[in-house]
A and B are shown apart, each in its own frame.
Chain A
Amino acid sequence: MYVYDEIDRTLVAERVAEFRDQVQRRLSGELTEEEFKPLRLMNGVYLQLHAYMFRVAIPYGTLSAPQLRKLAEVAQRYDRGYGHFTTRQNIQFNWIKLADLPDALAELAEVGLHAMQTSGNCTRNVTADQWGGVAPGEVEDPRLWAEILRQHTTLHPEFSFLPRKFKIAITASEHDRAAIKIHDIGLRLRRNEQGETGFEVLVGGGLGRSPFIAKTIKPFVAGRDLLSYVEAILRVYNQYGRRDNIYKARIKILVHELGIDKFAAEVENEWRQLAGGPLTLDDETIADIRSRFIYPDYPPLPDAKELLAQASASEPAFATWLANSVAPHKQPGYAIVTLSLKPVGAPPGDATAEQMAAIADLAERYSFSEIRVAHEQNLVLPHVAQRDLPELWHALEAIGVATPNVNLITDIIACPGLDYCSLANARSIPIAQQLTRRFSSAAAQALGQLHLNISGCINACGHHHVGHIGILGVEKNGEEYYQITIGGRADQKAQLGELLGPAVPFDQVADVIEDLVEAYRELRAGPQELFVDTVSRLGVEPFKERVYATRQ
């Protein structure tokens, strides 16, 4: 956990006061809705189909138990008793009243939470690997750098009115869990030959109606130059990014139109002017931020292999969960536990206030008071003693967050879709609900890792392009249809999925997915070959034949 100091606390309090004044001016009519819109957006407030939606920042997906408990209270007091965790590690509330917002923000500020830059054309929440600081083998904790970037980009005077939103993600592991290649800037922490810590910098990734995988702009930027280099990218983008068409305004279009080499040269020119200046991070500054991350003082424990084997033998459901939802920790005797927010028949990523409060309690008891939010819309307890796993599993089962489907076909990423969103063409949540009912736990386990992502419109909030199976809602003659892509992925081998064929109506989607899965079972080289690898080996054709043979 990063611990706030007086500077952090003061800034959040001053932001709450400013927003209170802005809301007051809107309520009194001094500001029109048109004038208020960019102001509310800069503080995470959208106007949705039915009500205002309020998005709270969870920097790099790290929460303390008191913070999660506070989110539960806000859900209870100001909303309808639940919240929705997003693909950018934030949480949103769908039914908040404008007049209540300043009070909700003031309550959140008590525990160091805020909504700054969770929307608007500015640098958004900096996201990172949800296993940062605990994954075995990472270069170092990426959240240290995410926090440095968070501070630098918060209320940045020059870059709060960019052509479009701007998203940064960081990973420090070979296996990219932060989807850095679909971000405006992706940062991969690495060490160079001299042993210096720095970053491979990628730019121009993004989904939406013109999806692109990010390209490497510089293979190594030293840690001390991170801020000046990011500043150079933002300055080039702020001046030259397109502002004539909202759909062409993201940096990916600028990179695409200029070409990565020309864009890189522009950035390099700008960076030469900034390098060595006041943005340079000295060792002491980095050490200072590092010192304000509190790490658990892990009591030494042996690995609990035997105990877990016994528990697994007596309780098969525990064994399934252990194999699915528990991952190795860098510290012997400990484990990383993923809490699935994808139970059968429920909207992906939702948690009730009761669940949040209970998870906060469990984090205090079993995970050194820390919780992480994963971009797959699940939660994580990052520091669990292995010997506590059987007990923890019972507690998680009791509150409905131990569905053993992490990374499986029912671990669906979905946007809110037409049930909430004014941009959507089609519903997402009911498709996800159908699919979780269609695939039993055993069926899902048998398929192995299979990421299924659903977006209710071309804006792609549900990351459909990079799902192993992607489902995109479109509107055809007033009806909901769904385009299906296969072969996409969001990890270190990120690529965009390929279109399977013509869109299918709402009530056929689950059947088509079942056909795809059947085709995979027949076509795969063996049970070890993942769906996405079979698609990569054979292409779309055999899947297409299978799905459309009976549907022409």
Chain B
Amino acid sequence: MPLVSNGQIVSDRYRSIADDAELPADGALLLSAARFLASADSLRGHDGPIGVIWPNDRNIAELVPHLDQLATVVLLFPTFRDGRAHSQARLLRERYGFRGELRASGQVLRDQFVFLLRNGFDSFDVKKDSDAEAFAAAASRYSVFYQPAADQAVGALQRRRQLRGPAQGGQP
């Protein structure tokens, strides 16, 4: 499964740690939600980035006290149709201010890239090689959007206000 991060196909720096395995003293570690929460205290001061895989049916607010020690949050798409992690991503970015890597994993296909990017994801465990290779084209398919989201794009209602210019009451 190729990993696309910030638009490039890259190799994954993380080592996945099984729930019953010992925690290595250093290195980039990817942990399950249960393992991470159980070891959060002992991981403070760990030499290397920590990532957590967060299930899509668990309240993302539980992560808030720990966001400062997380370099990566992996959110899950068990099927293409299951969109719960889209809401988790927006909450992490917009409400809880998470600035680390936000990775989409599972049934991640090129047809979701635009949505995922708009919800604040910046890395993708892509299911098919051909989709990973088509990332740049798929991600730039749309040049306009109707609604504001977690990315920098402006919604159409706001865009039209900008186009009308300051003469009609905007900031001078």
Q: Per-position contact with B for A6-48: 1 when CB-CB < 8 Å, else 0?
A: 0110110010011000100000001000010011000000000
A156 in the interface, Cβ–Cβ < 8 Å?
yes
A545 within 8 A of B: no
Out of A152, A160, A161, A284, which one reaches B161, CB within 8 Å?
A284
Q: Is B64 engaged at the interface, CB distance under 8 Å to the other chain?
A: no
Q: Is the pair B83, A155 in contact by a Cβ cutoff of 8 Å?
A: no
Report A236-275 CB contacts with B as 1/0, cut-off 8 Å. Answer: 0011000100000000000000000000000000000100
Residue of B nearest to A39 (CB): B111
Chain A residues near B144: list those with CB within 8 A.
7, 10-11, 14
| Residue among A7, A235, A279, A284 making CB contact with B87, cutoff 8 Å | A235
Chain A interface: which of B10-18, B25-33, B66-74, B146-154? B146-154
B128 to chain A: closest residue by CB: A30
Decide yes or no whether A285 CB sits under 8 A from chain B: yes
A522 touches B (CB below 8 Å): no
Q: Do the beta carbons of B111 and A162 come within 8 Å of each other?
A: no
Given contacts A157-B149, A158-B119, contact A11 B83 (CB under 8 A): no
- Whether A157 pairs with B146 at a CB distance below 8 angstroms is no
CA distance A121 to B82 in the complex (A): 10
Q: A11-B142, A14-B143, A151-B156 are in contact. Are A157 and B115 (CB under 8 A)?
A: yes
Contact B90 A158 (CB under 8 A): yes
Which residues of A sit under 8 angstroms from B155, Cβ to Cβ?
Answer: 152, 278
- How distant is B147 from chain A, measured CB to nearest CB, in Å? 5
Instruction: Given the known inter-chain contacts A157-B115, A161-B80, please indicate yes or no for A18 contacting B90, CB distance below 8 A.
Output: no
Chain A residue numbers with a CB within 8 Å of B111 are: 18, 22, 39
Given the interface pairs A10-B143, A18-B141, A278-B148, the reply to whether A151 lies near B157 with Cβ below 8 Å is yes
**A420 within 8 Å of B (CB atoms):** no
Taking CB atoms, residues of chain B closer than 8 Å to A39 are 111
Determine the chain B residues whose CB is within 8 A of the CB of A281 once the complex forms.
157
Q: Is A433 an interface residue (CB 8 A)?
A: no
The answer on a CB contact under 8 Å between A161 and B146 is no
Task: Assess whether B23 is interfacial by the CB under 8 Å rule.
Answer: no
Interface residues on chain A, number (Cβ under 8 Å): 39
The contact string, 1 if C-beta is below 8 Å from chain A, for chain B 134-172, is 000000011111111100000111111100100011000
Q: How far is the CB of A28 from chain B (nearest CB, A)?
A: 11
Interface residues of B in 44-91 (CB under 8 A from A): 80-84, 86-88, 90
CB-based contact A157/B114 at 8 Å: yes
Q: How far is the CA of A528 from the CA of B158 in the complex (A)?
A: 52
Which residues on A sit within 8 Å (CB–CB) of B118? 157
A161 to B87, CA, bound (A): 10
Q: Which residues of B contact A52 (CB under 8 A)?
A: none
Cβ of A193 under 8 Å from chain B: no
A289 — nearest CB in chain B belongs to which residue? B157
0/1 string, A151-177, CB within 8 A of B gives 1: 111111111111000000000000000
Check if A239 sits within 8 Å of B146, measured CB to CB. Answer: no
Known A-B contacts A10-B144, A35-B109, A38-B81; the reply to A158 vs B158 at CB < 8 A is: no
Q: Kindly report which residue of chain B lies nearest to residue A239, judged by CB atoms.
A: B87
- Are A160 and B83 in contact, CB atoms less than 8 angstroms apart? yes
Is A288 an interface residue when CB atoms closer than 8 A count as contact?
yes
Interface: A5 (CB within 8 A)? yes
How many Å from the CB of A311 to the closest CB on chain B? 47
A158 proximity list for chain B (CB < 8 A): 83, 86-87, 90, 115, 119, 149
- Asked if A288 and B161 sit within 8 Å, CB to CB, the answer is yes
Task: Tell me whether B99 is interfacial, beta carbon within 8 Å.
Answer: no
B83 A156 Cβ-Cβ under 8 A: no
Chain A residue contacts of B164, Cβ below 8 A: 288
Q: Are the C-beta atoms of A155 and B146 separated by less than 8 Å? A: yes
Interface residue B130 (Cβ < 8 Å from any Cβ of A): yes
Q: How far is the CA of A159 from the CA of B130 in the complex (A)?
A: 26
Instruction: Identify the closest chain A residue to B130 (Cβ).
Output: A30
Distance (Å) between the CB of B162 and the closest chain A CB? 11
Contact status A161-B83, CB under 8 Å: yes
State in angstroms the CA–CA spacing of A121 and B161 once bound together.
31
**Chain A, Cβ-Cβ closest to B95:** A273
Q: How far is the CB of B121 from chain A (nearest CB, A)?
A: 10
Tell me how far the C-beta of A494 lies from the nearest C-beta in chain B, rounded to whole angstroms. Answer: 30
Q: Check A285 against B161 for contact (C-beta < 8 Å).
A: yes
Distance in angstroms from A161 CB to nearest chain B CB is 3
Residue of B nearest to A42 (CB): B111
A238 & B148 in contact (Cβ 8 Å cutoff):
no
Q: Establish whether residues A38 and B80, one from each chain, have CB atoms under 8 Å apart when the complex forms.
A: yes
Out of A10, A151, A238, A278, name the residue touching B86 (CB < 8 Å). A238
The residue on B at minimum CB distance from A238 is B87
A-B pairs, 7 with minimum CB distance: A161-B83, A157-B118, A157-B115, A151-B146, A158-B86, A278-B148, A7-B156
Additional A-B contact list (19), CB under 8 Å, known A18-B141, A161-B83 = A7-B156, A11-B146, A11-B156, A38-B81, A155-B145, A157-B86, A157-B114, A157-B116, A158-B83, A158-B119, A158-B149, A159-B83, A160-B115, A161-B80, A278-B155, A279-B148, A285-B161, A288-B157, A288-B160
Pick 11 A–B contacts, CB within 8 A, sort by A.
A7-B144, A10-B144, A14-B142, A14-B143, A38-B80, A155-B146, A158-B87, A159-B83, A161-B83, A238-B87, A278-B148
